[in-house]
Structure 1
Amino acid sequence: MSRVGKYPVPVPAGVQVALQGRTIVAKGRNGELKLDLTDDVDVEIAANAVAVRPRREDRRSRTMWGTTRSLINGMVQGVSTGFVKEMEINGTGYRAAVQGKDLVLNLGYSHEIRYPIPPGIKITCERPTAIKVEGADKRQVGQVAAEIRAFRRPEPYKGKGIKYANEQILRKEGKKK
């Protein structure tokens, strides 16, 4: 039995969850998200909860049971409160700014990097060395943050680069004389 899948997903006030054929739709103050269901699970929408059940007792149905429940929980949480990834930039002269619909990064290269902000994502820079990525879709927020981090990963000697706010960089000792 799935330890994750057996618990129903609570639906908070202000969020509507509907089942349209084999697609589940969640609407809230942060927008609307859709999830196409596999043929391995059944979804039941009760008063203020969404329950997921496997259709068969095979291995694939049991694995998709917990996965589907987690995806629905992420959708409900995303449309109600949203997801945030905070990032920090370390390095002399390294900075970020939002200009129009682009994130402009100066990361020590000979040119500035312009990253177009995808729809459904909000990027803010409170300081030139802090980036905040917000959105309703957990997967998309994580993907955008990973793409921004990939422009200049933190290096282990001085710690220069873009890192997540809660990330610990393993530092190495430099050359010895």
Structure 2
Amino acid sequence: MIKWEEVSSFEVPKEVKLSIEDNVVHVSGKLGQVSRILRDNYVRVRLETGKIKVESSKKNRRSHGISGTWESELKNMFQGVTKGFEYEMKIDYTHFPTRVSVRGNTVLIENFLGERSPRQARIIGNTKVSVKGDRVFLNGIDKRELGETASNIERATKIKGFDLRVFQDGIYLLTGGSQI
């Protein structure tokens, strides 16, 4: 028989509904629902009368790291479904005015460094992207999806073959993960 020891426990906010089925955690609140698969042989998550308990059957660095990651993932899920997250990015150019627009689930970056063909960045999940002047705003309830979308936009404007200290054009993250 496996002996499980509690690594951490924390309260579930009252405005959040939580269910755990087969290592899949479903969190829903006033802004929507987020699901995450939390599967490991030595770490598990249990729901016990309004509290979440993260338990481990081994005491080593790997299990401790996984339990800490899961705890922060769960807290981000709670915050996302109650308050939401917002990222702000800045469009930076020196000579060629870069135009950024959103079409469907892609962000189009046109006239970047004077290029004729537009660069594209994929929007992940239910992330809302809006462009206002030289700022790009990303809103959503899943912090992981927002971060991945922001990295796709930043990666689409990566410059190769030039000195990055001189050619600083691109779209860069200003603030990340702030609450709305």
TM-score (structure 2 length as normaliser): 0.75
Secondary structure in 2 matching 1:146: helix
Partners of 1:63 and 1:118 lie apart in 2 by 26
**Uncovered stretches (5+) of structure 1, i.e. residues with no partner:** 168-177
Determine if the alignment matches structure 1 residue 164 to structure 2 residue 173. Answer: yes
Q: Does the C-alpha gap of structure 1 residues 43 and 117 become closer, same or farther in structure 2, counting only changes over 3 Å?
A: closer
Determine if the alignment matches structure 1 residue 117 to structure 2 residue 119. Answer: no
Secondary structure in 1 matching 2:156: coil
Alignment coverage as a number of residue pairs: 162
Secondary structure in 1 matching 2:124: coil
Contact conserved, 2:120 with 2:156, CA < 8 A, in 1?
A: no
Secondary structure in 1 matching 2:116: coil
Secondary structure in 2 matching 1:125: strand
Partner of 1:68: 70
Determine if the alignment matches structure 1 residue 134 to structure 2 residue 143. Answer: no
Deviation of 1:74 (Å): 2.2
Q: Does the C-alpha gap of structure 1 residues 85 and 161 become closer, same or farther in structure 2, counting only changes over 3 Å?
A: same
Partner of 1:144: 149
Partners of 2:122 and 2:62 lie apart in 1 by 38
Q: Does the C-alpha gap of structure 1 residues 15 and 145 become closer, same or farther in structure 2, counting only changes over 3 Å?
A: same
Partners of 2:141 and 2:72 lie apart in 1 by 15
Deviation of 1:158 (Å): 5.5
Which one has a larger percent strand, Structure 1 or Structure 2? 2
Secondary structure in 1 matching 2:157: coil
Partners of 2:83 and 2:10 lie apart in 1 by 15
Secondary structure in 2 matching 1:39: coil
Partner of 1:57: 59
Higher relative contact order (CA 8 A, sep 6+): 2
Contact conserved, 2:85 with 2:139, CA < 8 A, in 1?
A: yes
Partners of 2:11 and 2:165 lie apart in 1 by 42
Deviation of 1:146 (Å): 0.9
**Uncovered stretches (5+) of structure 2, i.e. residues with no partner:** 1-5
Determine if the alignment matches structure 1 residue 82 to structure 2 residue 84. Answer: yes
**Cα RMSD after superposing both structures:** 2.6
Contact conserved, 2:100 with 2:107, CA < 8 A, in 1?
A: yes
Deviation of 1:149 (Å): 0.6
Determine if the alignment matches structure 1 residue 10 to structure 2 residue 15. Answer: no
Q: Which runs of 4+ in 1 moved over 6 A?
A: none
Partners of 2:22 and 2:175 lie apart in 1 by 40
Partners of 2:14 and 2:147 lie apart in 1 by 26
